[in-house]
Structure 1
Amino acid sequence: MSESEEVVRGEQRDGNKRKKKKRKEKKKDIEEEEEKREEGQIKEEESESVLLHGIFKVGKKSHDVLLTKTRLTWTPIIPETPTGDANLLQPGVMLLEDVFAVKVKRRRAAGQQSGGPVLGMALFCCRRRGQKLEEDTLHLHNASAEHTHTWYNTIKELLTGFSSRPKRLKVFINPSSHKKEAVHIYREHVAPLFKMADVQTDITVTERKGHALSVMKECKLDEFDGVVCVGGDGSVAELCHALVLRAQLDANSPEKPVKSVLPLGIVPAGSTDVVSCSVHGVRDPVTAALHIVLGHLQQVDMCSFTALGQLVRFGFSAMFGFGGRTLARAEKRRWMPSSRRREYALVKTLARLRPEDCQLSYLPAKKSNCSLFGPRDQDQDQDPEPEGKESWTTNRGQYLSISVMSVPCLSPHVPRGLAPNTSLANGSASLIAVSNASRSDFIKHLKRYGSSSGQFNFSFVETHDVSAVRIRPHSLVSWSEGESEEEADSKSTPIIPSEGGVAFPWNIDGELVEMANEVLIRVHPGLMTLYGEEVEEAESAVSCSCI
């Protein structure tokens, strides 16, 4: 191992240690906060005054209830014993930032739609269980209509103070995604929560690929506070692309990417849902809906993909080589169940594993004295196409796989993510270049993605933080040469054609894109806002058994 490679390995180990330490500290802080809440030790700020003080029944016992601008606390009322002692019980605490709706409770006869005597009120909130957000309800009983409505109006006014919470949403549902359950998922799990939170929706059920893009070009965005996508990664990528293009159009900036003016909420209904998992930690529609109604916003970096000076699309991740070939084979077996289709494509691509001869250039996200590819000549550092004062690093070689990801790409099968060394909004992307290696070594590399770490601890795997990447394939034959007639798709044409007609498959956010020329990938910090939050690890599931 060369000296430069040892330096890179050392930096990777140090980076992993820092991330582990950060996760432990964060977990410790969360545990301490939970303990404080359970023990009733979270004290109100001195500047925070009590807005309302009253008595409600919680369950069958009377409680002394206090309301401030940020929280609601309730303490059981226990009469003193004959000796003058009183049992001290810890109060319950509910933060208003976790409350998404409040309703007045009434007693109504069967079939009665309105009116009825007041029974009290109900507060609807979310509770955390691991990565999941679950709906919960606190019932406060009081038969006084005046007393109840005073509390109801005050809490309602406080909830309207959360400016990031949407009131009007444009919803896109892809009925063809994965098991074709998107419409059912929305109606059963998401729509009731939107209705409860008084969120108005305008729904479009997409009929074809590109439908959402065409609707977004004509949509009156000022009528909405956000956009929601119910579908898989392909639907998410299309809407993100549409939102950025619309922002460019409205800003009259055709050359420079412009940040989307509306946040996007992702309700997972696909087969992998890596973007949803990266901001939720789980593939759960209720968790996604609660992040939306509570207005949890997360800035996210995006990439632009350009070929021959022409914008192909905006997205979060791209795979060239093994990842692109695997997806291309899977797309030709759409009639198979999704799990079988993925396993078939994976095994078939491994059986015909071969590297791509290409020139790989990258622009480091920060200055570094060590090379990603080891020693090289001074003239290799020159940008093949000058772009200002940027200092590019270039190398030509045989690569089994090249991945560029601006988000960690978490999933149940890869809990730490395909790119665990990056985050949602650090202004850079993770470049993972896998040089030519034996099939057995490459499989070992793939299998380690399902474990906690170690997938990059191979001499043929290189990683680096980058702000831009350029990939120029040099192969003179298309990827499908040598395939059987059954597998070859004569109707497939490249998105970006070339004179020779050679097209290379790319996996861009789970969508197959065929391009025949050099591709330039640039990272644009904070280009998109998603409903969700930064998560360290996704909820794990049983990994693929085919390898």
Structure 2
Amino acid sequence: MSEPEEDLQEEQRDSTKKKKKKEKRSGKKKKQKEEREQEEAQQQVDEEEEERSECVVLRGIFKLGKKSHDVLLTRTRLTWIPITPETPTGEPCVLQPGVVLTAGRVRGEGEAAASGRPAVGGAVLGVALFCCRRRGRRLEEDTLHLHNASAEHTQTWYNTLKELLAGFSSRPRYLKVFINPSSHKKEAVHIYREHVAPLFKMADIRIDITVTERKGHALSVMKECKLDEYDGVVCVGGDGSVAELCHALVLRAQLDADSPEKPVKPVLPLGIIPAGSTDVVSCSVHGVRDPVTATLHIVLGHLQQVDMCSFLSQGQLVRFGFSAMFGFGGRSLARAEKKRWMPSSRRREYALVKTLARLRPEDCQLSFQPAKTSTGNLFEHRDEDQDVKQDPESEGEESWTTNQGLYLSISIMSIPCLSPHAPRGLAPNTSLANGSAALIAVGNTSRSEFIKHLKRYSSSSGQFSFSFVETHAVSAVRIRPSSLINWSEEESEEEGDSKTTPIIQSEGAAFPWNIDGELVEIANEVLVRVHPRLITLYGEEVDEAESTVSCSCI
């Protein structure tokens, strides 16, 4: 081929390349232009929506304290700006404006928690707007007084505020309240009367109260009552009462939907007023054990979707719940339950020390399905004496991973389980609604090492940084004890003192489980499944609880 022909072909190739590059650039520019246009259109829609929401509904002059303010009301907030008189030098006074949100989350200084009310008796002097303010994780009640001598002006503001606040559908108007008078120090009735009832009254919330008389009373009431009359259910009690009502809500939803096999999400949300000894669920959704904070979350309609677990044995439902402990947690609770005559704090200390003194591993088969969103277990260690294999019984889903070995404790938790004694939670690597549960398996080790692991829950992080601790994000767990036993308070001292000697039990008896702080005895294997966002609770998720622990003693 001659040089001119080669040059011509090379020019053609260069021309083709340039043409392709130009088309590619043109296509890229066209795509970028379309994306910009979409962003501009969305931004315009957002601005129009914000403009509609921020459009001034009312404006007027009111006195706040001794100073006059220019008060503006939009559909989302109430703003007041001081009317600044000139000083003798002619310079304006600089005063800080104030804001109260009337909708959405608490973003500014406060949020309207109840309807405004004109003064009762005599001339109408103004409007009182009941609000709440955030102090860390706590919500505190407050009142904003807007004074104006014009009865007609005040009535207009009052009616408009009532109309705006009534338009927020998430805020309840009629609640079914269950009070457990036996919770903890029997303070539930007092807590409700002193802290909860006044706030419900200010918010114009009607209530229907049931004071429970026995275990299972709330469950029986929930099966029969007409739930369509209510906007929500409220529990005033400890973790046991909360667990019973959560279980009852899901069961009732299954009954109404005629779905006995598949869990159904309840229509009504549950509000939790802490009145127990630990209040793990309340701390997980509020961050504090404070009845006022919990009540204000209910009044304001703050809703949080929460995962739950189902616990089944031999194909039969045992209950729905948030957490379960097998081994050390179950045995210490069983010992505590046998000393109900003791004060609660002494009873827990006795059971803890006694169980540690007779610490023995459980010989069982632990199987689990990794959660689909899981990035793998957090600590890749496995004990050398554990046999790891793939379980052929996959039940038509992902394969199961099975470990056979000795375990001191196995915990399954679908929520962080925050408490004042464990501010970061018993399961800090999970959240309220991530669609998975934390599996924490503590293998066989010495008593001193196990105590170090327990102490770190309250004193610091790193409770899982031990070679004998495994953690996994799971969607299902199955625990199959190698032998079933006859466990009693007066265990024989001849069982052996070796830490590697598992507890041997006789046929026909049951293992103690700690499910949401309640003792449940199960004689067979247990299957635990996670059900994402199965229940709605009043509250906001927090990363860490407010701690009241001054020391970490075991």
Deviation at 1:451, TM superposition (A): 2.6
Query: Are 1:172 and 2:184 matched, yes or no?
Result: no
Task: Tell me the equivalent position of 2:473.
Answer: 465
Distance, in Å, in 2 between the alignment partners of 1:307 and 1:297 is 32
The answer to whether the Cα contact below 8 Å between 2:118 and 2:128 also exists between their aligned partners in 1 is yes
How far did 1:200 drift? 0.5
Distance in 2 separating the partners of 1:46 and 1:162: 19
Task: Name 1:530's counterpart in structure 2.
Answer: 537
Tell me which residue corresponds to 1:150.
Answer: 156
Q: Quick one: distance in 1 between partners of 2:206 and 2:450?
A: 50
1:25: which partner in 2?
A: none
Distance 1:141 1:484, change over 3 A: farther
Taking a change above 3 Å as real, the CA distance of residues 204 and 544 of structure 1, as seen in their structure-2 partners, is: farther
Contact 2:308 2:531 (C-alpha < 8 Å) held by counterparts:
yes
What CA distance in whole angstroms lies between the structure 1 residues aligned with 2:71 and 2:460?
Answer: 46
Which amino acid in structure 1 is aligned with residue 56 of structure 2?
V
Q: CA deviation at 1:202?
A: 0.6
Shift of 1:84: 4.8
Question: Is the Cα contact below 8 Å between 1:450 and 1:543 reproduced in 2?
Answer: no
> In the alignment, what sits opposite 2:238?
232
Are the counterparts in 2 of residues 232 and 268 from structure 1 also a CA contact under 8 Å?
A: yes
The residue matched to 2:114 in structure 1 has which SS? strand
Query: Any unmatched runs of 5+ in structure 2?
Result: 1-48, 104-110, 494-504
- Distance, in Å, in 2 between the alignment partners of 1:441 and 1:70 is 55
Contact 2:376 2:473 in 1 (8 A): no
Contact 2:116/2:161, CA 8 A, preserved across alignment: no
Match of residue 307 from structure 2: 301
1:382 pairs with 2:391: yes
Residue-by-residue CA offset, 1:187-233 (whole Å, 9 max, x unaligned): 11101111110101110001111110000001101000000001110
Corresponding residue for 2:445? Answer: 437
- Corresponding position of 2:196: 190
Match of 1:503 in 2: 510
Contact 2:484 2:508 in 1 (8 A): no
Shift in Å at residue 157 of structure 1?
A: 0.9
The range that moved more, 187-196 or 87-96, is 87-96
* Contact 1:416-1:536 at 8 Å conserved across structures: yes
Shift of 1:345: 0.7
1:373 Cα deviation from its structure 2 partner: 3.6
SS of alignment partner, residue 541 of structure 1: coil
Cα separation, partners in 2 of 1:358 and 1:544, compared to 1, 3 Å? farther
Q: Is the 8 A contact 2:483 2:507 kept in 1?
A: no
Pair 1:46–1:82, CA change in 2 (3 A): farther
Match of 2:333 in 1: 327
Query: Within the alignment, does 1:103 sit opposite 2:116 as a pair?
Result: yes
Letter in 1 for 2:115: V
Q: State the 1:504 CA deviation.
A: 0.6
CA 1:476 to 1:262, structure 2 compared with 1: closer, same or farther past 3 Å?
closer
Any residues of structure 2 matched to 1:219-298 within 5 Å, and which?
Answer: 219-298=225-304
| Shift, 1:390, TM fit | 2.1
Q: Does 1:394 align with 2:402?
A: yes
Of residues 138, 158, 161, the one that matches 1:132 is 138
Q: Provide the C-alpha distance between the structure 1 equivalents of 2:383 and 2:506, rounded to a whole number of angstroms.
A: 34
One-letter amino acid matched to 2:301: G
Pair 1:456 & 2:464 matched: yes
SS at match of 1:313: strand
Q: Is the 8 A contact 1:410 1:418 kept in 2?
A: yes
* Distance in 1 separating the partners of 2:141 and 2:301: 15
- Counterpart-to-counterpart distance in 1, 2:551 and 2:91: 62
Normalising by structure 2, we get a TM-score of 0.84
- Alpha-carbon spacing, 1:172–1:541, altered in 2? closer, same or farther (3 Å): same
- 2:422 equivalent to 1:409: no
**1:427 maps to what in 2?**
435
Residue of structure 2 aligned with 1:364, choices 357, 362, 370 = 370
In 2, Cα distance between the equivalents of 1:245 and 1:347?
A: 37
| Structure 1: stretches of 5+ with no match in the other structure | 1-43, 107-113, 486-497
SS in 2 for 1:412: coil
Q: Secondary structure at the match of 2:438?
A: strand
- Name the larger-Rg structure: 2
Q: Higher mean Cα deviation, 339-348 or 301-310?
A: 339-348
SS at structure 2 position matched to 1:118: coil
1:92, CA displacement in angstroms? 0.9
SS at match of 1:101: coil
How far 1:78 sits from its partner (Å)? 1.9
Q: Give how far 1:100 is off.
A: 1.7
Secondary structure in 2 aligned to 1:381? strand
SS at match of 2:115: strand
Larger RCO, structure (CA 8 Å, separation 6 or more): 1
Distance in 1 of aligned mates of 2:128 and 2:542: 31
State the percentage of identical aligned residues: 81
Give the aligned partner of residue 63 of structure 1.
69
2:179–2:210 Cα contact (<8 Å) kept:
yes
Over 3 Å counting, the alpha-carbon distance change for 1:372 and 1:429 in structure 2 is farther
